[in-house]
């Protein structure tokens, strides 16, 4: 069995010529062993994980015609669940690796698709490349990846389950990328090196992106020398770590003596101490509520234990990217939900993998509440002067428009209390709409059932036409339905013919429940089917944007099966979305793929034949 070449930990990246640098992703080290008779994903412990990651196997099978002449193959890489271009979520990969039930694996591979990010080629067409120089192996890997139709470098925007990891020669540039995306670390590889089976070598160095987190040390276990670290959560101590590494022998003896002298002995060999001793730990992140790879850094003398909170821990694990300034982080923005500015920024960071694709290259309109939702608001379309260097703009007759194309811009806007993000239906490079959207607006939140009823009726119509549709809450009192469109093929005139017809059809089916009447006084308690808003120059609330209401609602994508009589828009708020994103994934995850398969042209032609188009 081939064992992966091991990396040596280092504190600093080596400088100067003779080194290549790669992003280190927080996933599972894995060898892709591809033979004519099958494909295996071999973990560092020798286990075959192919059954748990069928999306990767299927991607390889689909590329078999292009790759057949290069088999057998052996690639070294990392199993990852990408959050951005430099960051993988270890918890998701770990959870998926343990799954055994076929139905669960199928569901999770759809909700949380993983990728194999390959960084080395060890064998091709049966030829052993391990003795060749690193640069030659990287070159041949890039050629192979390109031949298979996979991306040559990691891209979160590309859904391909197999991707390459390109090397960088500029240490400063790759470090900036790492810190911007809060990735796990960087690997430095000496040029000219050969691949050595199972050997830990100083030719491959790993430098971790350590996060510095505060904890309260509350327990000592004599048998293994472990200390327990806690934080306050709603006034209660919550255990987040056990650690021993990083302390000197003298520090360990002194702290152990403190527990034995001033603490209480709970059981044989275990002492506890009330909140008093605070310390800073180094960690690469958390999984299952516990810090990963914890290492003692220093004692925090004079630290108030009451200030060591779960919120502070979360902020330490999710630092603000360099270059983004945060002012007044404690300012209440959503008082009804207890969400201050820092909590809002944490939400934006969590939602960014799903929110940013909807904002990218769409001229943005934001609504700002500088003093929170209980105070005045104003709209902002144009960029102020001066702008941070990371903010991109597009020209406009009245001044440059803001483009939110990266996390830094999203957080910069969040710091300005931009609580709503409204986007047009087209992107900069096209006058054609990317999607059709129906806005279902009931008279008030108590009649959300009308929105559910209308959405399900419309879905039945769309299904009948063979059109795939998606649904989200508006973040207010209604729902919004999306029909993705093939790129660059249809005009707003085309979509208006369809939306007008469908809206009128719905209202004719239940005129006592639905209306297209724009004047509120003439709706008489009926749900307003707004199709007029879908037009060039108009905007709509972006998926995963918050709304400027005190209880911190979010315009939340839903699964169709979630629409029932028990559903309420107030279920989807900033506090609720943190957990939902981890457990449900993104219901709009197939939106982009659905575009190419939509038979919208056939639908228009059919309506025209019927004299309706």
Residue 281 exposure: Cα atoms within 13 Å on the Cβ side: 30
Which secondary structure element, helix H or strand E, spans residue 66, and what is its range?
helix 64-67
> Rounded to 10 degrees, what is the CA torsion of 172, 173, 179, 183?
-110
Give me the catalytic one of 6, 24, 139, 341.
24
> Rounded to 10 degrees, what is the CA torsion of 127, 132, 136, 137?
60
Alpha helices in 318-418 (DSSP H): 341-359, 407-415
Tell me which DSSP letter residue 553 carries: B
SS3 13: coil
Q: With beta carbons less than 8 A apart as the criterion, state whether 111 and 585 touch.
A: yes
Q: With beta carbons less than 8 A apart as the criterion, state whether 295 and 307 touch.
A: no
Q: With beta carbons less than 8 A apart as the criterion, state whether 448 and 478 touch.
A: yes
Q: Any idea which residue has 């085309």 for tokens?
A: 494
Q: With beta carbons less than 8 A apart as the criterion, state whether 518 and 510 touch.
A: no
| Beta strands 332-334; 339-340: pairing state | antiparallel
Longest dimension (CA), the chain: 90
**Residue 64 appears among annotated catalytic residues:** no
Phi, psi of 448, deg, nearest 5: -60, -25
* Calpha distance 191→180 (Å, rounded): 26
Contacts of 64 (CB under 8 A, 6+ apart): none
Q: Residue 177's CB: how many other CB atoms inside 10 A?
A: 17
| Cα–Cα distance list, 154 to 80, 157, 181 (Å) | 10, 9, 13
| Beta strands 162-164; 115-124: pairing state | parallel
Residue 401's DSSP bridge partners are: 382, 394
- The strand ranges marked E within 102-250 are 115-124, 127-128, 162-164, 185-190, 200-208, 211-221, 226-233, 236-243
The residues carrying an active-site annotation are 24
């Amino acid at each position: 069995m081939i064992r992966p070449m091991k990396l040596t930990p280092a504190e600093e990246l080596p400088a100067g010529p003779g080194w290549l640098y790669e992003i280190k992703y927080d996933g599972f080290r894995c060898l892709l062993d591809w033979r004519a008779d099958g494909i295996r994903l071999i973990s560092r412990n020798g286990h075959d994980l192919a059954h748990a990651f069928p999306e990767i196997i299927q991607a390889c099978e689909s590329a078999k015609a292009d790759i057949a002449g290069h088999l057998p193959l052996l690639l070294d890489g990392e199993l990852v669940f990408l959050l951005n271009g430099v960051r993988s979520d270890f918890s998701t990969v770990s959870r998926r690796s343990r799954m055994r039930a076929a139905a669960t694996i199928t569901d999770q591979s759809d909700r949380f698709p993983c990728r194999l990010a390959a960084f080395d080629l060890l064998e091709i067409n049966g030829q052993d490349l391990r003795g060749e120089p690193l640069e030659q192996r990287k070159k041949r890997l890039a050629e192979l990846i390109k031949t298979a139709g996979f991306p040559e470098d990691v891209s979160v925007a590309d859904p391909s389950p197999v991707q390459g990891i390109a090397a960088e020669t500029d240490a400063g540039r790759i470090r900036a990328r790492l810190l911007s995306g809060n990735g796990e670390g960087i690997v430095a590889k000496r040029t000219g090196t050969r691949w050595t089976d199972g050997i830990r070598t100083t030719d491959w160095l790993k430098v971790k992106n350590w996060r510095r987190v505060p904890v309260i040390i509350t327990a000592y276990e004599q048998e293994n020398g472990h200390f327990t670290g806690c934080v306050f959560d709603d006034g209660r101590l919550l255990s987040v770590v056990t650690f021993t590494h990083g302390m000197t022998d003298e520090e360990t003896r002194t702290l152990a003596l403190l527990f034995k002298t001033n603490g209480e002995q709970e059981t044989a060999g275990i002492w506890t101490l009330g909140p008093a001793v605070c310390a800073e730990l180094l960690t690469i992140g958390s999984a299952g509520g516990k810090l990963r790879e914890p290492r003692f850094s220093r004692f925090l003398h004079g630290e108030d234990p009451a200030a060591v909170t779960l919120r502070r821990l979360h902020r330490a694990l999710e630092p603000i990217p360099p270059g983004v300034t945060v002012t007044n982080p404690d300012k209440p923005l959503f008082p009804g939900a207890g969400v201050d500015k820092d909590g809002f920024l944490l939400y934006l960071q969590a939602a960014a993998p799903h929110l940013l694709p909807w904002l990218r290259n769409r001229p943005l309109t934001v609504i700002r509440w500088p003093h929170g939702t209980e105070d005045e608001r104003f709209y902002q379309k144009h960029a102020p002067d001066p702008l941070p260097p990371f903010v991109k703009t597009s020209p406009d007759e009245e001044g440059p428009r803001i483009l939110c194309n990266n996390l830094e811009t999203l957080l910069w806007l969040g710091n300005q209390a931009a609580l709503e993000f409204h986007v047009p239906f087209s992107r900069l490079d096209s006058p054609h709409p990317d999607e059709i959207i129906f806005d279902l607006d009931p008279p008030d939140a108590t009649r959300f059932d009308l929105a559910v009823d209308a959405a399900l009726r419309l879905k039945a119509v769309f299904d009948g036409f063979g059109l795939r549709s998606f649904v989200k809450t508006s973040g207010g009192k209604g729902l919004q339905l999306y029909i993705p469109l093939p790129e660059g093929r249809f005009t707003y005139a085309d979509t208006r013919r369809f939306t007008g017809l469908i809206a009128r059809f719905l209202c004719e089916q239940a005129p006592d429940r639905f209306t297209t009447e724009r004047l509120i006084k003439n709706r008489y308690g009926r749900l307003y089917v707004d199709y007029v808003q879908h037009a060039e120059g108009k905007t709509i609330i972006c998926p995963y944007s918050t709304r400027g209401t005190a209880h911190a609602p979010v315009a939340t994508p839903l699964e169709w099966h979630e629409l029932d009589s028990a559903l309420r828009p107030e279920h989807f708020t900033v506090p609720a979305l943190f957990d939902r994103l981890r457990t449900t994934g993104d219901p709009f995850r197939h939106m982009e793929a659905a575009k190419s398969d939509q038979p919208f042209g056939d639908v228009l032609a059919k309506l025209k034949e019927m004299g309706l188009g």
